Structure 1
Amino acid sequence: MAAQVWAPNEAAVGQICKLLSDFQSPTADQAQVWQQLEAARHVPDFNNYLSFVFSKGESLPSEVRNAAGLLLKNNLKQQYATTTEDFRSYIKGDLLHVLSHPDRSLRHTAGSIVSTVAAAGGLRAWPELVMWLGHSLGSGEAATLDGALDALYKITEDSVDQINVKIEGPTWGTPQAVSSLLVPPLLALLPHPSAPARRGALAVLNLMLPSMPDGLVDNMEAFAQGLFSLATDGDSGVRKQVVAGMVGLLPIRPDLLMPQFHQVIEYMLAMHADGDEGVALESAEFWVAFCDADNVEPELLRPFLPRLIPLLLDKMVFEEFDEEVQEAEAEEEAAATGAADADKDVRPTHVGAGASRGGGGGEAEGDDEDGDDEPERRWNLRKCSAMGLDHISNVFNDEILPVLMPVVEARLADADWRKRESAILALGAVSEGCHMGLAPYLPQITSMLIPRLEDPRPMVRVISCWALGRYTQWVLLPPDAPEPPPGSRLPPLAPANVALFERALGSVLARVADRNRHVQQSACSALAVMEEHAGVATRGEVLRSQVPAILDTVAAALRVYSRRTLRALLDVLSTLAGVVGPALGEPAVAQRFMPQLFERWQHQGVAAPESAPIMEALTSLAVAFRDRFEPYAKPVFDAAVGVVGIMQEAKAAQAAGQPPPQGIKYEADTYMAAMDLLAGLADALRAGAEPLIAASRLVAALPEACRDEAVDVRQSGFALLGDVARACPSHLLPGLPQWVSLCLSQLDAPALTEAAMPAANNAAWALGELLLRSPPEAVAPHAERVSASLHYVLSGAVRVTHGLRENAAITLGRVAAQAPAALAPHAGHFLAPWLGSLRAVRDDVEKEDAFRGVVRLVPLNVEAGWAAFPQLAAAFASWRHIADASLRNDMAGLLHSFKQAYSSSGQWQQMEQRLEPALMARLRELYGM
């Protein structure tokens, strides 16, 4: 029987069109419409209807069709894996039709959906798209060519790995790489008469460049020649892509630029001065790339420094109508008149993930109002030129000062505040690279910067805070001072340096209380940098007397800072906690700021998105305070568990298309921040966390977090599981089979993707922490299954991170220590790769745990131990110092038992000859062999 072809119901199409139209209407109840659309997502063929409306609704307004397309794209991101193959085919056919539509907005929406499908299903499953792209890149139809270039750009940007997969097609015998099919027609477009075509083709090729797919590798000379041929193109967009291509070539194939490198630098100097800021900005990236390239001789740039340095300085001056300047000046005026932005005018924050994670778990609905989006949104020629100067100073060091300093000195005295600001920016940029040459002038530079913190122009105050923070490290650790050996007593800081540091710190603290948000953020960042330098240079000693002033300033700012600047302020607190440690938890000290921190958390709402930075700061404080956090533990713990529960309820409601029960939307970052805070509390309190965990629903909530589809959430969930296991395993032992299964689910072949490695790493660690504290009889039933999964990780069958390999090796050792008899029959399968991985583990208590497993397991399967003896010997020799004398004796005993057992047959002597003399010498030194 032939497969049934899907056909739309006319009435359903009408309903969906009305919903989409209402959603565009400002008078409609959009929340209600959105709920209806969310509910419709669960109808199996809803995406087909959206595809039908998008591709075939020629009588509909383009706004309605685009709304259908964007909703389809978002649905497919989440649902493609569960979409049936016939529905996928229907949608794919519709999309190819729209990619060449006369309406540009529809074409580009189709390109976005195509990219989503390519990312979810792969190009190997859609050879028709690749063939269409290859054909359309040679099309004479402008709309078709534009649609092809737009779709290919988005696919390359979102899924560059797909550009090199091999696909089968009807016109070639063997599978071909997608890049091999598409790069030649892209190169053929470089001399195209249409500037958008030239620009689009170059943009796609530049996106491919870092990953070097086969099709580009085979045509690199043609690509480079194409860049040179377009260097003087009349279209600024094309020139921008030419510059970007040369910047991309520099670290990958500099040999293609070397024959004309003198002309390339001259070209970049000209483009840096180009009237189009986009072109100039791309060329400014060249100097950074040049300095970072390992395979390019710095000497090539030296003759151009007298021209390049002044050019960089010229481009470091604020433009007259710079957006950042206008914002800061407007805020200065508003603050002076008492009309500063109210908290209610600030959009909710979409915060970043904690320092231990790689990113957030959702998309912001708007710009991040904490300013986290600003570095990208406001990246401009001024900042890029300053970065270029920074990198050049780190390559050529004091050599650039004779060219640089006359310009800087003249600008510091200039009446134009923009010139003065650029001079301070330049001084800050070279503070690392030119520190030796500037060392004699350090007191003067610092003393010059401090008064600038009072400048009436806010951006001068901003840059002065930043520069002062950079120079503080040389105040604390003079450039000519010898570096003390690790662990040695630090030499006392000269009184003059202490006084200078304290003066600088006090001046920055005053700016933390500035009324301008831009200055507040810069001052907080500078203060955190100064705290870090104090920790490195004096192990925090120089900060001790300043802690009360810092905390009083932070406490006052907690009451008045807007949500825009809160994260920067909390970074000051977290950094200070890391430097000062438990001393920050002394009751009289903590009382200076903890009540204000709790008050701010409660005021914002403990589960509000903007409270995530507060939870991250509390995590740092708990880790620093250790048991001194006890007085604050219960309210913090209960609130964090409450946040976890609220987020889980909100996520379930979101999945069901229902409003959140407590009116708080699901935010992955808030969820993770709460779990990280609970993990920090468990780590800090250890056994003291037991009554808190016992009285909460935390253990019941953990499985859901560990099953979450978002890798960042799972990473936090397994970190929390491991810390709970270390603090009070008794609450986890009744569900041991469940926890083992959850951890192992992250270590199976399908789950070990590159993106999922952090979650897998934490799962392997958590499993080891739990099994180490479980009774041997409880571990034994799981030992074989656990060893099989860990062996897979260690075997090299899949590429894993160093951290995951190390944690897998330690966990396997802990299982072996607990249940050696259960593992002994299988030791021959995993012993060699396991021992090989243990060599790379640093000496600590975790390594001791792992080697206890070795010395308990190997005697139960001596034959497997002898087969892996070279790896065993190398692992035993990897120790520098074994703190546990009992373990050292056990290891020595195991080695001697092998020598005794295999000497009479001559096998021991043969083994000694196989091993490196240095290895045998190390075994004799450590174990008396």
Structure 2
Amino acid sequence: MDWSPQQDQIGQLAQCLRDSLSGHDVKAQRNAEQMLKQAKASPDINNYLAWITTNETANVGLSEENFFSARCAAAIMLKNNVKASYKSIPDPSKEYVRSTILLGLRDPKQQIRNFSGSVITEIVRAGGILGWPKVLPELISMIGNESGQMTSEAQDGAMGALFKICEDNRRALDREYQKERPLGFLLPKLLDFAANSNPKIRSKSLAAVNVFLNEPIAHTCRENIDVILGRLVQLTSDTDDDVRRYVCRAFALLADGMPELLKPHVQGIVEYTLSQQKNNQNAELALDAAEFFFEASNTPTLREALGPFLPQVVPVLLDSMVYSEDDQLRLEGDDDDADVEDEAKDIKPVFADAKQKGSTAVSGTSTPQGNGQAQKSVNGYAYEDDDLSEGEIDEDEDYGVDPEDEWNLRKCSAASLDAIATHYGAPVFEVTLPWLMDNLQHQDWPNREAAVLALGAIGPGCIDAIQQHLPKLVPYMITLLNDEQPVVRQITCWALSRFAGWAAALDEDRKREFFEPMMDGILQRMLDQNKKVQESAASAFATLEEAASDQLIPYCAVIVQQFVRCFDRYKDKNMFILYDCVQTLAEHAGPALAHQPLVDLLMPALITRWTKVQDQSREMFPLLECLSYVATALGEGITPFSKPFFERCIRIMHQNLEEGFHAQSDPVFDQPDKDFLVTSLDLLSAIIQSVNEQTINMLVTGAQPNMFELLAYCMKDTNNDVRQSAYALLGDCAIYIFSQLQQYLPTIMELVITQLDLSSANADPETGFRVINNACWSCGEIAMRAPPDVISPYVDRILQQLAVILMNPQVPQSLNENAAIALGRLGVSCHQQLAPHLASFAGPFLGIMRNVPWTDEKAHAYKGFVTVVLANPQALEATLIDFLIEMAGAPAVVLTGLQQDSPLEGFERVLATYKGMIGEAEFDAFLRNMPPPQEQALRGLYKF
């Protein structure tokens, strides 16, 4: 494009760009930002930005330093313009920008080269690979210095841009365009550059290749994997640390994606990565080397191949678990900070868990996932997965990053050791034991700490071999709970929790000797003077609660007393984990918490926090979730507290739904956080299940706005977690307050039928199926109680939706089961409408129900199914034997213990009906077609 800038325009724009960075002159900064907004309307704005970015000097009255700042600001603005509106940029301007910005890669200043590379990458991303077909050949020409005129800086700039393009366009580069893949052209060039004399070119080209070795490995790389592997082997002897880093990373990626490829070469790779992991001068290289063992230890093919090398691998992993000198200095500065208030940036977000209902859930509860820091983990080692999808933003960027939360050599080694120990057991312990003996009582705290970490890492996997040593090891670790170094106390809490299952399973005498001191020691550390130790102790105690389960019941008083002290002492961050401890105790100790002295202790502490936390606070999520478990555990004991809980949940839901409505109609409003709805719905469910009928009727009647109207809005929310919890609440309403629910059924049943459509799960099958599962369950609960005239208008459509689920083998088994149970329950009051269709659904129904354990829900379903059979007995002839076998498998306690809900009378009537239809002798002969044990059981259970 033949375009030239006007000098005065360059000067004005450069000055504005410079002033936009003037943090010390707020007025100038605001004026500059306003002028830049106006400048965006100019059709030539991007040309000017590209010109300023790529020109080292300009006679515009700015100092060299200020003009450099303007150039950086121009590049950033240009990138943002391309990102926001590339398609609307005039074609001549696009051509000019594309041809000009490449010059920025030759700039002497690295920042400008990097900024130019970012603009180039954004153009490729916005316009597509085919939108700038010359960019890859031009970059390759620059890197290879085909003209003979490129400086090493220019080659480095072009290589950096090419790497960014690979990183941001991984899938697009491996896609076929007219039977050709861009990566087919690019990959050989990258492998050639990996042999370049410039180590920066070698390392970045190999880094670019590694982009395509991430799962799923690029098709082109799979086709050329032998060539890639050959280049990697050549580069193992490279003198540059960064090159060797990317070689190690490539081996780790291949261990994950193509383990069979590496299996024949495992000895050489193990020896090489061990040699690199021992590099004490380069922590990044050591970590990338250790990543191979992490991936290999979690891949069955390579994990098996590591067996012969355990004596070499395990000691290196153990040594790598000792804190570095820099970390030691940082940690030795940790002060007692229990009285220091937390800052908002220190508290990462927590996320609510929606509840699953139906045949796979127990009493409407869900498994607590823990409300500590919202981080990914592998076997308990904080593992930060930075493999974000294209365009995905790391939500943790807005929060302070604790170095202890980062994935590092120490944690990678510990996680690898854990996985290897789980697979190999005793052989790992045999290699580890001498190292443990040298370090467990070491005078230097980093060695003691690493030994405890190692003990915790191998403990569960090596439990058979280590068990004989635990009577000595556990008491010693308990003494380390009082170590002068906070970090030792911190890791000891975690390590002890790894042996909680062993201690909880001991006989009473040995439990007093080991379990009680372990429990007491961790409880004491929950009130440590150091907040990180508090956090570790609380997490460890939640783990102990899971492992001990109802074994904790005798200790509830001691535990609750300590929890109450923690409520008085904890700052905001650790309060989140304390909620997890309380709800886990409520889940496993259950009704034991309803003992009035414990209620009088615990509830005031929770109420105090309840009154402090604002409706909009993120702390409301774990608090509401905790309260839902407590309400379930206390049963009617929650009644005195239920009114404020209920009313606040209604208020939070109303606020959230209103905010969502405004956000949909006006983009100025932010979308509200759906977790407020999820946790409020779950607490409402828990209250409805727990309090007496009179109380819940009073609460629901007095709710403002109306609870069922809010529930209907939640049932059609766009968020799957919200809908999942909404349908859980709907089912509970059907069970406990059907008389109040009934008048809203015309609206609600239409929503239920819509939700039963499997296509509603297309966008996100995993969570979508859970919503449909809860919809099936709630539909069945309604069908059990609704009079025929109320439910009959919906029966045909419900049957159609449930039949589709029943006959679809691709949906999860739990969904098949809940659909079958709902269909059976529908027969309780609507058997006449279902009877004509019996032959079509009886086979799938019986096949699915065969795998469902005999519970009250299964009995209810068969009570309804029997009623349908009696209305059309001829339709069951093809599957009658299957039905009789199911009847024979019904436990006597189920048949006799459900009173009016029992299918016993119906089963007996079915037998009498077929006996009358076929004739007594013929029916007796027919029963001999059953397997003898089932025939005998049938004759023993029923009167016929």
Q: Is the TM-score greater than 0.5?
A: yes
Give the superposition deviation at 1:253.
4.4
Matched ranges for 1:341-380 at <5 A: 341-343=340-342, 346=345, 349-354=348-353, 356=355, 366=396, 377-380=405-408
Matched ranges for 1:226-625 at <5 A: 227-233=232-238, 236=241, 239-250=244-255, 253-274=258-279, 275-295=281-301, 298=304, 300-322=305-327, 329-332=332-335, 341-343=340-342, 346=345, 349-354=348-353, 356=355, 366=396, 377-478=405-506, 493-535=507-549, 539-540=550-551, 543-625=552-634
Matched ranges for 1:607-686 at <5 A: 607-657=616-666, 666-685=672-691
Sort the Cα spacing of 1:94 and 1:607 in 2 relative to 1 into closer, same or farther, 3 A.
Answer: farther
Give the superposition deviation at 1:462.
0.5
Give the superposition deviation at 1:784.
1.4
Give the superposition deviation at 1:404.
2.1
Give the superposition deviation at 1:546.
3.3
Matched ranges for 1:206-217 at <5 A: 206-209=213-216
What secondary structure sits across from 2:616 in the alignment? coil
Q: Distance in 1 between matches of 2:238 and 2:633?
A: 59
Contact 2:927 2:935 in 1 (8 A): no
What secondary structure sits across from 1:841 in the alignment? coil
Contact 1:401 1:434 in 2 (8 A): yes
Query: Structure 1 residue 737 and structure 2 residue 746: aligned?
Result: yes
Contact 1:351 1:613 in 2 (8 A): yes
Give the match for residue 778 of structure 1: 790
Contact 2:553 2:592 in 1 (8 A): no
Give the superposition deviation at 1:919.
7.9
Give the TM-score normalised by structure 2: 0.76
Sort the Cα spacing of 1:450 and 1:377 in 2 relative to 1 into closer, same or farther, 3 A.
Answer: closer
Give the superposition deviation at 1:621.
0.6
Query: Structure 1 residue 204 and structure 2 residue 211: aligned?
Result: yes
Amino acid at match of 2:754: S
Contact 2:734 2:741 in 1 (8 A): yes
| Aligned with residue 752 of structure 1, among 740, 743, 761 | 761
Greater displacement, 250-259 / 724-733: 250-259
Q: Distance in 2 between matches of 1:434 and 1:218?
A: 41
Contact 2:418 2:461 in 1 (8 A): yes
Contact 2:249 2:288 in 1 (8 A): yes
Give the match for residue 8 of structure 1: none
Q: Distance in 2 between matches of 1:50 and 1:751?
A: 46
Amino acid at match of 1:256: L
Sort the Cα spacing of 1:254 and 1:773 in 2 relative to 1 into closer, same or farther, 3 A.
Answer: same
User: What do residues 507-562 of structure 1 show as CA deviations (whole Å, max 9, x unaligned)?
Assistant: 22221111211100011122222333332xxx32xx44533332222212212211
Sort the Cα spacing of 1:556 and 1:136 in 2 relative to 1 into closer, same or farther, 3 A.
Answer: farther
Q: Distance in 2 between matches of 1:50 and 1:657?
A: 29
Give the match for residue 4 of structure 1: none
Amino acid at match of 2:903: L
Give the superposition deviation at 1:810.
1.7
Q: Distance in 2 between matches of 1:926 and 1:598?
A: 52
User: What do residues 594-619 of structure 1 show as CA deviations (whole Å, max 9, x unaligned)?
Assistant: 11211112212243112221111111
Give the superposition deviation at 1:720.
2.4
What secondary structure sits across from 2:489 in the alignment? helix
Q: Distance in 2 between matches of 1:87 and 1:879?
A: 70
Give the match for residue 887 of structure 1: 903
| Aligned with residue 809 of structure 1, among 820, 825, 834 | 820
Give the superposition deviation at 1:310.
1.8
Q: Distance in 2 between matches of 1:896 and 1:151?
A: 76
Give the superposition deviation at 1:463.
1.2
Sort the Cα spacing of 1:759 and 1:315 in 2 relative to 1 into closer, same or farther, 3 A.
Answer: same
Contact 1:95 1:114 in 2 (8 A): no
Q: Distance in 2 between matches of 1:130 and 1:289?
A: 37
Sort the Cα spacing of 1:269 and 1:855 in 2 relative to 1 into closer, same or farther, 3 A.
Answer: same
Greater displacement, 585-594 / 391-400: 391-400
What secondary structure sits across from 2:212 in the alignment? helix
Sort the Cα spacing of 1:368 and 1:505 in 2 relative to 1 into closer, same or farther, 3 A.
Answer: farther
Give the match for residue 700 of structure 1: 709
Rg: which structure is higher?
Answer: 2
Give the superposition deviation at 1:356.
4.8
Matched ranges for 1:97-116 at <5 A: 104-105=114-115, 108=118
| Aligned with residue 766 of structure 1, among 754, 771, 778 | 778
Q: Distance in 1 between matches of 2:838 and 2:263?
A: 55
Give the superposition deviation at 1:365.
5.9
Sort the Cα spacing of 1:52 and 1:911 in 2 relative to 1 into closer, same or farther, 3 A.
Answer: farther
Q: Distance in 2 between matches of 1:139 and 1:773?
A: 76
Greater displacement, 915-924 / 311-320: 915-924
Give the superposition deviation at 1:649.
2.7
What secondary structure sits across from 1:588 in the alignment? helix
Give the TM-score normalised by structure 1: 0.77
| Aligned with residue 802 of structure 2, among 790, 803, 812 | 790
Contact 2:439 2:451 in 1 (8 A): yes
Q: Distance in 2 between matches of 1:830 and 1:330?
A: 70
Q: Distance in 2 between matches of 1:71 and 1:625?
A: 58
Sort the Cα spacing of 1:107 and 1:307 in 2 relative to 1 into closer, same or farther, 3 A.
Answer: same
Q: Distance in 2 between matches of 1:50 and 1:455?
A: 67
Sort the Cα spacing of 1:822 and 1:95 in 2 relative to 1 into closer, same or farther, 3 A.
Answer: farther
Q: Distance in 2 between matches of 1:363 and 1:725?
A: 41
% same residue:
26
Contact 1:137 1:186 in 2 (8 A): no
Give the superposition deviation at 1:498.
0.8
Sort the Cα spacing of 1:546 and 1:894 in 2 relative to 1 into closer, same or farther, 3 A.
Answer: closer
Amino acid at match of 1:206: L
Give the superposition deviation at 1:925.
7.8
Amino acid at match of 1:668: K
Give the match for residue 819 of structure 1: 830
Give the superposition deviation at 1:862.
4.8
User: What do residues 653-712 of structure 1 show as CA deviations (whole Å, max 9, x unaligned)?
Assistant: 44455887xxx9832333322222222222333634232122113222122222222222
Give the superposition deviation at 1:878.
6.7
Root-mean-square deviation over aligned CA pairs: 4.9
Give the match for residue 484 of structure 1: none
Q: Distance in 2 between matches of 1:552 and 1:99?
A: 71
Q: Distance in 1 between matches of 2:926 and 2:332?
A: 80
Sort the Cα spacing of 1:850 and 1:499 in 2 relative to 1 into closer, same or farther, 3 A.
Answer: same
Matched ranges for 1:795-874 at <5 A: 795-796=807-808, 799-862=810-873, 864-867=875-878, 872=883
Give the match for residue 44 of structure 1: none
Contact 2:203 2:246 in 1 (8 A): no
User: What do residues 558-600 of structure 1 show as CA deviations (whole Å, max 9, x unaligned)?
Assistant: 1221111111212221122122211212221111121121111
Greater displacement, 139-148 / 860-869: 139-148
Contact 1:686 1:726 in 2 (8 A): no
Sort the Cα spacing of 1:901 and 1:185 in 2 relative to 1 into closer, same or farther, 3 A.
Answer: farther
Contact 2:839 2:875 in 1 (8 A): yes
